[in-house]
Structure 1
Amino acid sequence: MSAATAIPVADCTWPWQGFPIRYQKAGTTGAPMLLIHGFGASSDHWRKNIPVLAETHQVYAIDLIGFGKSVKPFPGDPVTYTFETWGQLVVDFCRDVIGEATFLVGNSIGCIVALQAAIMEPAQVRGVAMLDCSLRLLHDRKRSTLPWYRGAPTPFFQKLLGIRPLGHFFFSRLARPKFIRNVLKQAYGREEAVTDELVDILIGPSKDEGAADVFLAFVRYSQGPIAEDLLPKLQCPALFIWGADDPWEPVELGREYANYPAVEDFIVLEGVGHCPQDEAPELVNPILQKWAVAH
């Protein structure tokens, strides 16, 4: 609950294909929004946005299967950790839980999930807002354009991580508060936003059974769609918000997405890094509210 708005946020569970999926919900009026987190995060990464957006909208935030407080099945049959899987999860959530066409708001890989869902079921999606969309620079097709000395090590590293004991050891070295804090300080333009609370939010789910295998499955996933595949097929309006200081997804590359017909605006936030919703919610929330109300 936000002290500023006093709008309660409900923590809920939804059974999807027999798997418990965690989501949060707030607000009772206005068009619905579904907030979709990035890799390694959860719906709690939107804690600074949910109560404020709920002043004008019905707001939902989901933990994708494999992340947050949602279940983390072993990769394979029946769950593969691909954008097609997450896209279907989002489509089903919009239909079965929300019950009407929804604005999708994503961060990082959550943007690709949102685009995938919008392509799969256009009638379920009113618009897509993307915050620092993942460029998927390690995708097979993109890596093939790099000089050999930059692209060649990635498959070798991915193959090593496929050795399960080695992969689990690697994950255990990463899933430590000090390491997570250092990574966040690199990714965030506003270092003061890297708090103990944020570190706890990200590291908590890493202790769950299956977390390491999900992490390794995605790190080794260099196929599937990229934004360049999906944007030309998009039938709803799109908005891009981008942190100018994002070291992972350079804004200079992201600007190319503004050229697609569905993209209405490309907004750059100075001094902000990879997670604008958490670093600069006072800037992001009004932009999202104004955009959604206009549609």
Structure 2
Amino acid sequence: MMLQHNLRHGSCGKAFRPRATPPPFQAILPRVSRPVRLVALAAADAGVNPFAATSSTSSSTTQQINPASSSSSDEKYGWSSHIWKWRGHTIHYKTAGCGEPIVLVHGFGLSSFHYRRNIPMLAENYKVYAIDLLGFGKSSKPILQYSMELWRDLLLDFNAEFLGGKPAVMVGNSIGGLACLMVNAASPPDAIRGTVLLNSAGAMNNKGVIGDWRILAVYPLLLLIDFLLSIPAVSAALFNNVRTRDNIRQVLQNGVYRNPSNVDEELVEEVFAPSCDPGAREVFVSVITGPPGPKPWALMSDVKGPLLVLWGDKDTLTPADGPVGRFLKALPERRPETTFKMLEGER
């Protein structure tokens, strides 16, 4: 019982002496400037269908992964791996550190490993939770209709289950950023301490990026791709081509990281391995072909507390001059609690 309480509410034990907790973004800002633009194996950020209108009660089953069977990265990066049963599915997440909670949410096609460089440093001052969203990483990949609402409900239940009533700083990259905005908008004011967006997506796939001439120019092609992906033989061939180690390495080096030296074999393997899981192809298809979901500007009236937006100036997948980047860059003029910071240079 004590173990489950500690896992849920972040108890660090008597031997741990955390530093004084800084303001919500003081420690985050200098630490998230490492590569944060890990995105999909495909060129587009993901999109999904509505799944559930309301959040169901989550399971309370929590288990720390046996150290003997956990990844060597646990010891290397100083985090612990856990599994949690949610709506009958297995959710994998990592924890590290002690203090006020930070919840890290990855982008499409990735996992909590996306934050391997950030977790150890953030854990110096915070209790860090990094989750593998349903359908990604080491979490289950059930065949169902994925949606932003599904992931929003997952994160809301996760916070209720593990944070012990403490307000969280939500940090999200790509579609994880949009998920964090949705969690913020759906949470009571005392549940959110702040929100950080890292090159945030503005929709679940490129079909929802309204106002970008680059997307409008290829919109008919996107619709054709949706049709082709509905054919199992075609989607299987495409997915198997996209998920090869060589292709993953090439995409990471040429399209995701502006500094190719940041792409090592450990990273390639962490992206490749989940693609071999049963259901991975179906998740890929559901995400790519689904409706785009809510737009950031539609959520802003309900977003509470400080909002920090970080954007890499070399990002070509979600460029700062796109409609989402332009909207968020101008947001501080209309919303004083918003800070926009451009991260310059190759990372």
User: How high is the TM-score relative to the length of structure 2?
Assistant: 0.72
Q: In the alignment, does 2:167 pair up with 1:101?
A: yes
Task: Find the counterpart in structure 2 of residue 283 from structure 1.
Answer: none
Task: Find the counterpart in structure 1 of residue 193 from structure 2.
Answer: 126
Structure 2 counterparts to residues 214-253 of structure 1, below 5 A: 214-253=283-322
Letter in 1 for 2:85: P
- The verdict on how the C-alpha distance between 1:134 and 1:191 changes in structure 2, with shifts beyond 3 A counting, is same
Task: Find the counterpart in structure 1 of residue 233 from structure 2.
Answer: 165
Q: Is the 8 A contact 2:104 2:170 kept in 1?
A: yes
Q: In the alignment, does 2:338 pair up with 1:271?
A: no
The alpha carbon displacement at 1:6 in A equals 9.0
Q: C-alpha distance in 2, partners of 1:176/1:147?
A: 26
Task: Find the counterpart in structure 2 of residue 23 from structure 1.
Answer: 93
Q: Is the 8 A contact 1:7 1:26 kept in 2?
A: no
Q: C-alpha distance in 1, partners of 2:126/2:301?
A: 28
The alpha carbon displacement at 1:155 in A equals 1.1
Letter in 1 for 2:176: G
Aligned residues: 267
- The verdict on how the C-alpha distance between 1:229 and 1:2 changes in structure 2, with shifts beyond 3 A counting, is farther
Task: Find the counterpart in structure 1 of residue 330 from structure 2.
Answer: 259
Structure 1 segments of 4+ aligned residues over 2 angstroms from their partners: 5-8, 143-150
- The verdict on how the C-alpha distance between 1:151 and 1:263 changes in structure 2, with shifts beyond 3 A counting, is farther
Q: C-alpha distance in 2, partners of 1:262/1:81?
A: 34
Give structure 1 stretches of 5+ with no counterpart.
273-278, 280-295
Q: Is the 8 A contact 1:258 1:266 kept in 2?
A: yes
Q: Is the 8 A contact 2:173 2:200 kept in 1?
A: yes
Structure with the higher helix share, 1 or 2: 1
Q: Secondary structure at the match of 1:139?
A: helix
Q: C-alpha distance in 2, partners of 1:244/1:257?
A: 14
The structure with more radius of gyration: 2
The alpha carbon displacement at 1:256 in A equals 2.3
Give structure 2 stretches of 5+ with no counterpart.
1-70
User: How high is the TM-score relative to the length of structure 1?
Assistant: 0.84
**Identity within the alignment, %:** 34
- The verdict on how the C-alpha distance between 1:144 and 1:44 changes in structure 2, with shifts beyond 3 A counting, is closer
- The verdict on how the C-alpha distance between 1:153 and 1:263 changes in structure 2, with shifts beyond 3 A counting, is farther
Q: What per-residue deviation string (whole Å, max 9, x for no partner) do you get for residues 196-219 of structure 1?
A: 111111111000000010011101
The alpha carbon displacement at 1:143 in A equals 7.1
Q: Secondary structure at the match of 2:308?
A: strand
Q: In the alignment, does 2:135 pair up with 1:66?
A: yes
Counterpart among 179, 190, 197 of residue 113 in structure 1:
179
- The verdict on how the C-alpha distance between 1:161 and 1:266 changes in structure 2, with shifts beyond 3 A counting, is same
Counterpart among 33, 47, 54 of residue 116 in structure 2:
47
Q: Secondary structure at the match of 2:102?
A: strand
The alpha carbon displacement at 1:229 in A equals 1.7
Letter in 2 for 1:97: F
Task: Find the counterpart in structure 2 of residue 175 from structure 1.
Answer: 243
RMSD, aligned α-carbons = 2.4
Q: What per-residue deviation string (whole Å, max 9, x for no partner) do you get for residues 174-221 of structure 1?
A: 110111111112221122111111111111100000001001110112
Task: Find the counterpart in structure 2 of residue 90 from structure 1.
Answer: 155
Task: Find the counterpart in structure 2 of residue 199 from structure 1.
Answer: 268
Q: C-alpha distance in 1, partners of 2:257/2:148?
A: 25
Q: C-alpha distance in 2, partners of 1:156/1:242?
A: 31
Q: Is the 8 A contact 1:238 1:262 kept in 2?
A: no
Q: What per-residue deviation string (whole Å, max 9, x for no partner) do you get for residues 79-101 of structure 1?
A: x3111110110011011112222
Letter in 2 for 1:25: T
Q: Is the 8 A contact 1:109 1:133 kept in 2?
A: yes
